[in-house]
């Protein structure tokens, strides 16, 4: 197909995704993502927040693809996400009979954005930053005592079945 507009939005969920079913049984997850752009101001030498943009998103189940189910199960309000989808314009009539329209994203792919997520290694750091680990592991994953010499000094066990 040609003429479609695809967008990648990086932001946070403004509400928990909601799973809905159409009369034909099709499942769709509806959620909203807030994108807060920032721009560096060279005159003030500071970052400035720009007005937020809100994207209404729909993720559909299609055949064996269970995107809608996965979105509802894995994502929650406040989660940092990266959403890739096709820009669609939805039109309708409001209660007063006026024609209305809104842009939304038909989600093709979505996932958690781990850019600013605090991982376990950062949580364990006593002083913060990117220093050496605070302690050496007592044993490797197979229960063999760690050899002296630092990380990775344990020889592979020839009895491991793979």
Q: Is 125 part of any domain?
A: no
Q: Is 14 part of any domain?
A: yes
Distance, CA of 155 to CA of 142 (rounded, Å): 11
Q: Is 106 part of any domain?
A: yes
Q: Is 26 part of any domain?
A: yes
Q: Kindly report, residue by residue over 25-66, the tens digit of the pLDDT.
A: 899 999 999 999 888 999 999 999 999 999 999 999 988 889
Confidence of residue 13 (pLDDT cuts 50, 70, 90): very high
Distance, CA of 119 to CA of 134 (rounded, Å): 15
Of the chain, the percentage scoring pLDDT greater than 90 comes to 59
Q: Is 68 part of any domain?
A: yes
* pLDDT value of position 143: 55
Q: Is 132 part of any domain?
A: no
Q: Is 40 part of any domain?
A: yes
* pLDDT value of position 158: 61
Mean pLDDT of the chain: 82
104: phi then psi, degrees, rounded to nearest 5 = -150, 165
Distance, CA of 147 to CA of 142 (rounded, Å): 13
Q: Kindly report, residue by residue over 71-86, the tens digit of the pLDDT.
A: 999 999 999 999 999 9
Distance, CA of 162 to CA of 158 (rounded, Å): 9
Q: Is 24 part of any domain?
A: yes
Q: Number of folded domains in the chain? A: 1
CATH number of the CATH domain containing 54: 2.40.50.140
Q: Kindly report, residue by residue over 122-144, the tens digit of the pLDDT.
A: 656 555 555 455 555 555 555 55
- The domain in which residue 84 lies consists of 6-112
């Amino acid at each position: 197909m040609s003429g479609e507009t695809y967008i990648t939005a990086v932001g946070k969920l403004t509400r928990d995704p909601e799973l809905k079913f159409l009369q034909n049984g099709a499942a769709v997850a509806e959620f909203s993502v807030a994108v807060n752009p920032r721009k560096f101001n060279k005159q003030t030498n500071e970052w400035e927040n720009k007005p937020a943009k809100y994207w209404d998103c729909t993720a559909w189940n299609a055949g064996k693809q269970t995107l809608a189910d996965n979105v509802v199960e894995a994502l929650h309000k406040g989660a940092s996400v990266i959403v890739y989808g096709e820009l669609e314009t939805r039109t309708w009539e409001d209660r007063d009979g006026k024609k209305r329209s809104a842009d939304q994203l038909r989600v093709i792919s979505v996932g958690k954005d781990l850019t600013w997520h605090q991982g376990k290694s950062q949580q364990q750091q006593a002083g913060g930053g990117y220093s050496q680990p605070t302690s050496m592991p007592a044993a490797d994953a197979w229960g063999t005592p760690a050899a002296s010499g630092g990380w990775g000094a344990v020889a592979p066990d020839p009895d491991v079945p793979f």
